[in-house]
């Protein structure tokens, strides 16, 4: 057992899969000699060499196009798009080509590739480098969408993504890169499409993703200590496939659902979960479903404004306290 940072778990997950399977290749901007702009890929070039770890030009279209072609020819590429905001530059290739190729060829061509990207707020990079865009990917049929919150989940879910036969968008939250957690030694392979109950409670169910998971856990502890409200916290982890079974089970136990979402409110992933719960668990609910989100605004760069735009522990506590009575 070792304590790893979230960023070190990224490198460990990639290294595990590259050592296991020579068809796994890795490409992106500054991933080789520089070790990644967020230092998530240190040591990979030295270990696996320039044939399998390739620095690319500053061109998202080139990165994604090369990854798609490599997957078509039998490789299992991992492509890095430095910031998730930059998906907008290469979105046609992802949404109209990669997502649809297996379907349009009746399964004759599979695209086993992973697109990693740094997502979310916390680094004061402003409106064009701080977005939380997992709902963009979730809306496209043919893509699998993963967003881990812990080093253990990073390594295990990244391995599962590399081994999956379909394209996977792997969102790493840049605000979590320095966080630490215990990761067992040896090979770790998780399973896509599984949520995790990270805290068990009796009164309310809080469903969260990525950086909102530790905030929700802090809020749950405060609610228990200050108000006697016992909260279950579910880490969604995988948006596509979505583990509705776990979410429904936990909502039925408590009768109340809160989603905590970093993405802008309009069409966020929590809206889909709220819709599904309303359809399947309506008679188990004891109150309205409540979404705690970022407003539908570009994210500001100023630290105070950025911190208050996204859901805070205080806002989660106050919202649950106000609605759980």
Which helix (DSSP H) or strand (DSSP E) does residue 105 occupy?
A: none
Residue 234 to residue 270: CA distance in whole angstroms: 12
Q: For residue 28, give both structure tokens.
A: 């992106």
Sequence length of the chain is: 325
Q: Is 129 a catalytic residue?
A: yes
Q: Which of 76, 129, 155, 256 is catalytic?
A: 129
Q: For residue 126, give both structure tokens.
A: 């402003």
Residue 153 to residue 157: CA distance in whole angstroms: 6
| Residue closest to 75 by CA, chosen among 22, 1, 147 | 22
Q: If DSSP codes are grouped into helix, strand and coil, which group holds residue 50?
A: coil
Inter-residue long-range contacts of 21-25, CB under 8 Å, 24+ positions, other chains counted: 21/76, 21/162, 22/52, 23/74, 23/75, 23/76, 24/52, 24/75, 24/76, 24/77, 24/78, 24/162, 25/52, 25/53, 25/54, 25/70, 25/75, 25/76, 25/77, 25/78
Which helix (DSSP H) or strand (DSSP E) does residue 103 occupy?
A: helix 101-104
Catalytic positions are 129
């Amino acid at each position: 057992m070792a304590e790893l940072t979230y960023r070190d778990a990224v490198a460990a997950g990639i290294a595990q899969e590259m050592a296991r399977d020579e068809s796994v290749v890795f490409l992106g901007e500054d991933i080789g000699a520089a070790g990644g702009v967020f230092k998530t890929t240190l040591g990979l070039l030295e270990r696996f060499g320039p044939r399998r770890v390739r620095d690319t030009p500053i061109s998202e279209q080139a990165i994604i196009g090369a990854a798609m072609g490599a997957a078509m020819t039998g490789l299992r590429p991992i492509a890095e798009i430095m910031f998730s905001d930059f998906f907008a530059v290469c979105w046609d290739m992802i949404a109209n080509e990669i997502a649809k190729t297996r379907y349009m060829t009746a399964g004759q061509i599979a695209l086993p590739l992973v697109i990693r990207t740094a997502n979310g707020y916390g680094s004061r990079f402003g409106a064009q480098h701080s977005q939380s865009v997992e709902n963009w990917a979730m809306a496209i049929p043919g893509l699998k969408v993963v967003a881990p919150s812990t080093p253990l989940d990073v390594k295990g879910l990244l391995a599962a993504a590399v081994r999956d036969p379909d394209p996977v968008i792997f969102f790493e939250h840049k605000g979590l890169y320095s966080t630490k957690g215990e990761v067992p030694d040896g090979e770790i392979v998780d399973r896509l499409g599984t949520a995790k109950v990270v805290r068990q409670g009796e009164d309310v169910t809080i469903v969260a993703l990525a950086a909102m998971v530790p905030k929700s856990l802090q809020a749950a502890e405060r609610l228990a200590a200050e108000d006697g409200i016992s909260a279950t916290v579910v880490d969604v982890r995988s948006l596509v496939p979505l583990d509705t079974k776990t979410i429904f089970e936990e909502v039925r136990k408590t009768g109340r659902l809160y989603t905590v979402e970093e993405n802008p409110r309009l069409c966020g992933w929590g809206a889909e979960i709220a819709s599904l719960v309303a359809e399947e668990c309506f008679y188990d609910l004891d109150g309205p479903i409540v979404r705690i989100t970022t407003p539908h605004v570009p994210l500001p760069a100023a630290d105070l404004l950025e911190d208050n735009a996204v859901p805070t522990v205080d806002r989660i506590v106050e919202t649950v306290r106000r609605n759980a009575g």
